[in-house]
Structure 1
Amino acid sequence: MNFVRRFSPLAIIVIMVIVQIIETIVVHASATRCSILVYLLILNIVITIILLSQTRNYQLRRQDFIRKINDEAENSLNATLDNMPIGVIRFNNETFEPEWFNPFIDMIFKGNDKVINRDDIKKILKNASDDQYITIGKQKYVAELDSDKNLIYLIDATKEVAFKSEFNDSRAVIGAISVDNYDDATDLITDSGRTAINSFIASFLEEFADKYGIYLRRINSSRHYFFCDYRILEKMINDKFAVLKEFRELSAQKEIPLTLSIGVAYGWNDFPTIGKVALNNLELAQVRGGDQVVLRENTPQARPVYFGGNSESRTQKSRTRARAISTALRTIIAESEDVFIVGHRFTDMDALGAAVAMKAFANMSGKEAFVVYDPEQLLPDVERAINKMNESSDGFTHIVRLETAQKLKKKDSLLIMVDHSKTSQTLNLDFYKSFEKLVVIDHHRRDDDFPEHALLSYIESSASSASELTVEILQFHDNNQRKMSTIEASIVLAGIELDTKNFTKATTERTFEAAAYLRSRGSDNDLIKMIMATDFEKYKKTNEIVLNSQMILPGIALGIGLKHEKYDNIATAKAADTLIDMAGITAAFTITQHTNGYISISARSRNGFNVQTIMEQMGGGGHFNNAATQIYEKNIQKVQDDLIEILKERENEK
């Protein structure tokens, strides 16, 4: 019978028919056996009926067996769903009403004295797409969604979250603390006065260490290191590094012009690298003007986080540094075949002035140098200045278009970036990437978008302008007998005048020394006025923004461009300049629709109000009192709302 069960009913019938045919052939061969044929035929029919009956019975038994197994599996699955520590919810895809859920879900929500409803379903679905974990009561869950079957699985992850939290809290933290302006504050005072300052610094930092439970190590009077874990660092972050404000206020009470710069890094295992990152962060904090914290994790993809930075940069005694930069730059230029100088996108007069000064420096070093501009990004005053340069035989061959510079560039050429240190702001990114040798000269606060392969960087956020910095470098060139042309000196001086608003803002004795040097080189005030003159239509555009302004917070003015009108950078910037000159205004912001389609913001301030950090939060940057940003894919109203929210948060932090 087992043998028969291997065949289907159709196969059995075929076999029986074949047997019948064979038997018929045999019988026909012997006519005398007719009676045997009848018996055999009846026998075959009986056998066939028996086999078919047995096969059908087997199939019925097999189906019953399969049904039984399925029933047992389903019962087992239901029992598992009822008892396993995983919540399962089936919901209506249109109404979000729960259609079925296992007892574990009931346990989860009854713990909160409630029954699951469609609002809970919506909340779970939203959190599942936004967050890694969902909090229900005191427990944490991971939500998995089966969209095809409208099922939600909630997996208890409370222990996992607790372990991760404890694991992350144990990350090592290294911090480097530097006292800003320590040398200036202790240079010309008595030994007893210096001892008093050192005692104040030491006692303050010891109290800071005791407050948070960190290990503090003194290297010298102005440099300390601290060590802790991330759990303690998180407390400092929640306090927004109040140590900066406390130290600044206590220093002011003692009439000592000191602030702190702190670089902090954290991560796993690789302590030497964590220490290097902390020192790099400290350098970044100092370059950005001091009185701030730069925090970054020890991973390649991590971005710096900034705290503080609300004190204006103090002028440093940098003549020695300027001389060293001048010497180092001469060496780099001497080892290069030629030099190309670029400003930022939509180059202004300060960028052009700094570029012209660097061209003169390279010429003094015996190298050919080219100031590069993009005719598609010319502002009116810069265009007038370039036209004047082109009229002189000295400037014509050295002020070149971007496409020309790309053809002239050689393998060993040097690129000098002036008035910017962000790669995203450079005149042309492809042109920048084509250089292996790079120098950066800027007066804006440095951030994380800084060229990684710069051979030399000279960033002084306390300087009034990039033109001022380049003139200082120029003055220390040992071949300073070469006279700048009148147009060159005038353009550089125009750059200083632009950023200082005709020497009324951010000026120091260094600014006037640079101006005096340029005056001795033949700068022409009438020529400067002609270059810097305001176009009549531009003036009207500026007044539109000013007239459409209002006070949004005490001491803060906001000007908005008219609807359906577009403005260039000059109108937007000059409107902000006009507003900040008015009585009672500490900070001024102007928002316009730019002619190129994006939203443009210009920010100006005085009396210690830092607009650079505000513009950084909105994707831009700049100087302490002079900053800007460009915003894409948002309308003016949304940008205005974002700005006001940031300003209100700043007010609340005071």
Structure 2
Amino acid sequence: MKDKLFTWADNRIYLIIMALMVLILAFFQPIVAFIMALVVGYMVFYTHRKIEEKNRELTKYIEGLSHTFDSAAKHAIFNMPFPLSFIDDVGNVTWYNTPFLELVGGGDVLNRSISELIPAFNITELSRKKENEPLDINYMDKCFKVLPNFIEGKGSFAKGNITMLYWVEDTDYQHLLKMYTDEKTIVALINVDNYDDVKNSTPDTHRPMVLAEIDKVISSYFGKYNGLVRKYENDKYLVLVDHNGLMDIKTKRFDLLDQIRDLNMGNTIPITLSIGVCQAGKTLLDSYRNANAAIDIALGRGGDQAVVNIGNSFDFYGGKSKAMEKRNKVKARVIGDALRQLIDQSGMVFVMGHKNPDMDSIGSSIGVMRAVENRDKKAFLVLNGENPSIRNLMDRMRQEAPELEDKIINGEAALEIIDDKDLMIVVDNHKPSLTEAPELLEKTNKVVVIDHHRRGAEFIKDPVLTYLEPYASSTSELVTEVLTYMSAETNLTKFEAEAMLAGITVDTKNFSFQTGVRTFEAASVLKRAGADTTVVKQLFRDDFSTFINKAEVVRSAKMVFDKIAIGRLEVTNDDSILIAAQAANELLNINDVEASFVLSKLDDKIHISGRSLGNISVQLILEKLGGGGHLTSAGAQIEKLSMNDAEKLLIDIIGKFLKEGEKK
């Protein structure tokens, strides 16, 4: 009776009072009390009958209301204007309404798998959805947002649940969205990388034909995709094309790069383009700015490629040719003057390379330290620890230049003393996450970047000075050039010159790769400063165990795709990365090997060292794994994968890379 509106409990207090009055009256007037007891009894009987009647009426009313509600709910479900279905925990249909039956084309639907009826429906994907989180399904040229409602269980698709699926069609919206997206204006900027070189090296009789052909090829290429091309400088173009056209161009992987490179109208050197595209701009002005940022990255990576800015990330196309060496030294002179002024205007100067530094990182850092000392400023080298790659150099430093060791501090010590008046110079790296101490970059507003790697999507924010030259052999080469323009006398000590020469030597593989005229000019400057090539060679000597492990990697390496060698260093020690890099270099000495990759394990990560003779870009391959580097030398690190899984992933990426090359 507790759930009813009228109960005896509601009148309990009155009955108790009347009973007490009868008892008191019985003590003084028994006859009157007897009469009163009869009256009270009648009142109790009458009240009980009235309560029962009221309760019966209330019950009939509630039952009638429930029946009406159930009928309305059933009517609403059965006659819902959009498809509705119930499935069990394995995805079998347990109930459906008429619109759902019409959707799947009629027939026997009950107890059949929803994935069988609608192939686009993914049960696994449904299991990841929350209550009313839509699942997008395309079926029979229609688009649906399927909203799951979990009737049993605790709000997820699990065993024992019955899931109600609401099929809400949004075909018109999706078509409208596609139409809007396809017609959205895309801004692209194009630079002819080597316009002056092509112009000056082409005979006078052919020069007008070559320059006209460049315009013609670019205009006709984008004309096929309804694009508008406007030339606003001799070597620069602005392109407007719709999103649909961009998707077609991306499908063909910007084959304009190949068409221009293959152009032969009397020019003696290949013509290359850099293309910057913004795919995710909100306004035309915003798109133009983002396209500018994209073309800066393309130029920073050496040109001959397209970079598509899609908001929070970048897509890269091309970049398979070697960066052309620029013979103009004006930029080096300008950088030298600007760096001298920045050092003079700063308090202290901090120099920082990348994590797990190599000879080039340390050598270029030592060169920058010399530049700072020449300006009578206090300098510190940020280094969190030694590794086998630089151990021999650091041991020689302790013997020949102990004063330099006193200027080496770790990231924590640097963080305590640096302020916004100090200057931070980052060498041999441009990615904040790969620096020795990324938090230092937030402590000062003045950051200089000197690097020779092709620019990646991640870049130090707002540096006051950037010297990024991917054509250079090494950062040590760039620093040597800058030193010669900063002052009449470089004042390099013998040890400093040998450290920088070691940096050039390691990145050029003993002057055999990525070596240009300016590389030898820089080496001659260091040689005049007292660098001894015999001493430099001794810095690369290995101990016996390192030599044996390197030999074992080469012995156990295997060939894939007939021209790529893959080796594995099964031994885990502090020298793993060094051994992997050296083994990758050794594998290139084998006939028919055009590129090599060596996998090693260190600190729960799989490290991959890639080397190439130049026909295959190991940089583009390892960028797919989050790494980077150069056309002929690159590296990457993979987390949460075993050695076997990492090797399979690498082989798969190499296969896709080679397939894209064959399509061209």
Q: TM-score, normalised by structure 1?
A: 0.91
State the Cα deviation string for residues 231-253 of structure 1 (Å, max 9, x = none).
Answer: 22222222222222222223599
DSSP-derived class of the 1:386 partner:
helix
The answer as to whether partners of 2:350 and 2:382 remain within 8 angstroms in 1 is yes
The answer as to whether partners of 2:26 and 2:34 remain within 8 angstroms in 1 is no
Could you tell me which residue of structure 1 aligns to residue 158 of structure 2? none
Could you tell me which residue of structure 1 aligns to residue 436 of structure 2? 427
1:609 to 616, 624, 632: 616
Q: CA deviation at 1:22?
A: 5.2
Matched, 1:181 2:194: yes
The CA RMSD over aligned residues, in Å, is 2.8
Matched, 1:144 2:172: no
Could you tell me which residue of structure 1 aligns to residue 104 of structure 2? 109
Q: CA deviation at 1:394?
A: 7.1
2:182 to 164, 169, 173: 169
Q: CA deviation at 1:14?
A: 5.2
State the Cα deviation string for residues 101-155 of structure 1 (Å, max 9, x = none).
Answer: 3333323323699666236289443233389512233322223334425313233
DSSP-derived class of the 1:250 partner:
coil
Distance in 1 between residues matched to 2:513 and 2:239, nearest whole Å: 38
Choose 207-216 or 132-141, whichever is displaced more.
132-141
Could you tell me which residue of structure 2 aligns to residue 160 of structure 1? 173
Matched, 1:55 2:51: yes
Relative distance call for 1:566 and 1:406 in structure 2 (3 A) is closer
Distance in 1 between residues matched to 2:29 and 2:545, nearest whole Å: 126
Matched, 1:383 2:402: no
Distance in 2 between residues matched to 1:295 and 1:367, nearest whole Å: 42
The answer as to whether partners of 2:85 and 2:96 remain within 8 angstroms in 1 is yes
Could you tell me which residue of structure 1 aligns to residue 353 of structure 2? 343
Distance in 2 between residues matched to 1:374 and 1:16, nearest whole Å: 89
Could you tell me which residue of structure 1 aligns to residue 371 of structure 2? 361
Could you tell me which residue of structure 2 aligns to residue 623 of structure 1? 630
Relative distance call for 1:433 and 1:46 in structure 2 (3 A) is same
Distance in 1 between residues matched to 2:208 and 2:369, nearest whole Å: 47
Relative distance call for 1:499 and 1:514 in structure 2 (3 A) is same
Could you tell me which residue of structure 1 aligns to residue 535 of structure 2? 527
The one-letter amino acid paired with 1:155 is W
State the Cα deviation string for residues 2-42 of structure 1 (Å, max 9, x = none).
Answer: xxx996434446535645765787898889xx5x7766654
Residue pairs, 1:64-213, within 5 angstroms:
64-93=60-89, 95-110=90-105, 117-118=112-113, 120=115, 123-128=121-126, 129=128, 132-147=135-150, 148=153, 149-156=161-168, 157-213=170-226
The one-letter amino acid paired with 1:127 is E
Q: CA deviation at 1:571?
A: 0.4
Distance in 1 between residues matched to 2:163 and 2:8, nearest whole Å: 44
Structure with more helix by fraction: 1
1:327 to 330, 337, 340: 337
DSSP-derived class of the 2:436 partner:
coil
The answer as to whether partners of 2:380 and 2:409 remain within 8 angstroms in 1 is no
Could you tell me which residue of structure 1 aligns to residue 250 of structure 2? 237
Q: CA deviation at 1:518?
A: 0.7
Choose 204-213 or 181-190, whichever is displaced more.
181-190
Relative distance call for 1:231 and 1:85 in structure 2 (3 A) is farther
Distance in 1 between residues matched to 2:197 and 2:508, nearest whole Å: 25
The answer as to whether partners of 1:106 and 1:115 remain within 8 angstroms in 2 is no
Q: CA deviation at 1:45?
A: 3.5
The one-letter amino acid paired with 1:161 is Q
The answer as to whether partners of 2:210 and 2:265 remain within 8 angstroms in 1 is no
Could you tell me which residue of structure 1 aligns to residue 582 of structure 2? 574
Could you tell me which residue of structure 2 aligns to residue 473 of structure 1? 482
Could you tell me which residue of structure 2 aligns to residue 284 of structure 1? 297
Choose 161-170 or 319-328, whichever is displaced more.
161-170
DSSP-derived class of the 1:110 partner:
coil
1:439 to 438, 445, 448: 448
DSSP-derived class of the 1:64 partner:
helix
The answer as to whether partners of 1:339 and 1:367 remain within 8 angstroms in 2 is yes
1:374 to 375, 384, 404: 384
Q: CA deviation at 1:531?
A: 1.6
What is the aligned-residue identity percentage? 25
Relative distance call for 1:113 and 1:160 in structure 2 (3 A) is farther
DSSP-derived class of the 1:212 partner:
coil
Relative distance call for 1:26 and 1:571 in structure 2 (3 A) is closer
Q: CA deviation at 1:258?
A: 0.7
Relative distance call for 1:211 and 1:85 in structure 2 (3 A) is same
Relative distance call for 1:200 and 1:465 in structure 2 (3 A) is same
DSSP-derived class of the 2:206 partner:
helix
2:470 to 461, 464, 472: 461
Relative distance call for 1:422 and 1:112 in structure 2 (3 A) is farther
Relative distance call for 1:167 and 1:112 in structure 2 (3 A) is farther
Relative distance call for 1:126 and 1:164 in structure 2 (3 A) is farther
Relative distance call for 1:12 and 1:590 in structure 2 (3 A) is closer
State the Cα deviation string for residues 387-425 of structure 1 (Å, max 9, x = none).
Answer: 322333574356413155455545422111111111111
The one-letter amino acid paired with 1:75 is S
Distance in 1 between residues matched to 2:51 and 2:408, nearest whole Å: 96
Q: CA deviation at 1:267?
A: 3.7
Relative distance call for 1:124 and 1:213 in structure 2 (3 A) is same
Q: CA deviation at 1:308?
A: 1.4
DSSP-derived class of the 1:367 partner:
coil
Relative distance call for 1:389 and 1:28 in structure 2 (3 A) is closer
The answer as to whether partners of 2:276 and 2:308 remain within 8 angstroms in 1 is yes
Q: TM-score, normalised by structure 2?
A: 0.89
The one-letter amino acid paired with 1:442 is D
Q: CA deviation at 1:199?
A: 0.7
State the Cα deviation string for residues 326-359 of structure 1 (Å, max 9, x = none).
Answer: 1111111111112221211111111111111111
Distance in 1 between residues matched to 2:437 and 2:538, nearest whole Å: 29
Distance in 1 between residues matched to 2:174 and 2:608, nearest whole Å: 42
Could you tell me which residue of structure 2 aligns to residue 449 of structure 1? 458
DSSP-derived class of the 2:263 partner:
helix
- Identify unmatched segments of 5+ residues in structure 1: none
The one-letter amino acid paired with 1:366 is D
1:498 to 506, 509, 518: 506
Distance in 2 between residues matched to 1:193 and 1:389, nearest whole Å: 57
Relative distance call for 1:563 and 1:389 in structure 2 (3 A) is closer
Count matched residues.
639
The answer as to whether partners of 2:93 and 2:110 remain within 8 angstroms in 1 is no
Choose 102-111 or 16-25, whichever is displaced more.
16-25
The one-letter amino acid paired with 2:438 is L
Could you tell me which residue of structure 1 aligns to residue 601 of structure 2? 593
Distance in 2 between residues matched to 1:159 and 1:189, nearest whole Å: 56
The answer as to whether partners of 2:621 and 2:653 remain within 8 angstroms in 1 is yes
The answer as to whether partners of 2:306 and 2:317 remain within 8 angstroms in 1 is yes
The answer as to whether partners of 1:599 and 1:632 remain within 8 angstroms in 2 is yes
Could you tell me which residue of structure 1 aligns to residue 308 of structure 2? 295
Q: CA deviation at 1:536?
A: 1.8
DSSP-derived class of the 1:612 partner:
helix
The one-letter amino acid paired with 1:547 is R
State the Cα deviation string for residues 524-557 of structure 1 (Å, max 9, x = none).
Answer: 1222122221222111111111111111112111
Q: CA deviation at 1:502?
A: 1.2
DSSP-derived class of the 1:53 partner:
helix
The answer as to whether partners of 1:346 and 1:379 remain within 8 angstroms in 2 is no
Could you tell me which residue of structure 2 aligns to residue 516 of structure 1? 524
State the Cα deviation string for residues 49-71 of structure 1 (Å, max 9, x = none).
Answer: 23321221111111111111111
Distance in 2 between residues matched to 1:277 and 1:564, nearest whole Å: 44
